[in-house]
Homo-oligomer: A and B are copies of this chain.
């Protein structure tokens, strides 16, 4: 499958600080992402919503929360900020009066087109020097962790 010879800098020490490492990487990545997005008027938390609503798609808030993998109240407040900033539009669902349908505004659509190049650039920065094999190994290991953690929920 994969071999230690292909991983430079291998140390054989205990990953006692695994969570610190992933947390640090997440915060660093988000920090750099926010810097890039600042030029486009977007924030990192908005990206899943913009992605989910691309191509004129219409979703209610529950579907957006599921897609973004956050709780419903978090999505409610996020969408309130995005509506305030003119990125999305909310209107009542005519078929279900509990539900609110969300769409991108033209400005939201326009700004969301900047996301892909920004994410590509940052991902390449994070994985600088990684061989394709190393990328695959990393993703495989991370997916196994996700699976293990989700099984504990």
The reply to whether the CB of A120 lies closer than 8 angstroms to some CB of chain B is yes
Q: Mark A127-153, 1 if CB is under 8 A from B, else 0.
A: 111101111111111111110111011
A112 to chain B, nearest CB (A): 10
- Contact call A5/B48, Cβ cutoff below 8 A: yes
Which A1-41 residues have C-beta < 8 A from chain B?
1-19, 21-34
Question: How far apart are the CA atoms of A3 and B129 in the complex, in Å?
Answer: 17
Question: How far apart are the CA atoms of A28 and B150 in the complex, in Å?
Answer: 7
The reply to whether the CB of A80 lies closer than 8 angstroms to some CB of chain B is no
The reply to whether the CB of A58 lies closer than 8 angstroms to some CB of chain B is no
- Contact call A13/B123, Cβ cutoff below 8 A: no
Evaluate whether A11 and B140 lie within 8 angstroms (CB atoms) in the complex, with A24-B146, A122-B19 already known: yes
| A16: chain B residues within 8 A (beta carbon) | 119, 123
| A140: chain B residues within 8 A (beta carbon) | 7, 9-11, 14
- Contact call B134/A141, Cβ cutoff below 8 A: yes
Known: A9-B144, A18-B127. 17 other contacts (CB 8 A): A2-B27, A3-B45, A4-B30, A4-B33, A11-B139, A12-B120, A15-B127, A15-B136, A15-B138, A17-B139, A28-B153, A32-B149, A32-B152, A125-B149, A128-B148, A129-B144, A137-B141
21 A–B contact pairs at CB < 8 A?
Answer: A2-B27, A4-B30, A5-B51, A5-B67, A9-B140, A10-B116, A12-B133, A12-B135, A15-B127, A15-B135, A18-B139, A18-B142, A19-B26, A22-B29, A23-B26, A28-B153, A125-B148, A126-B148, A134-B141, A138-B141, A138-B142
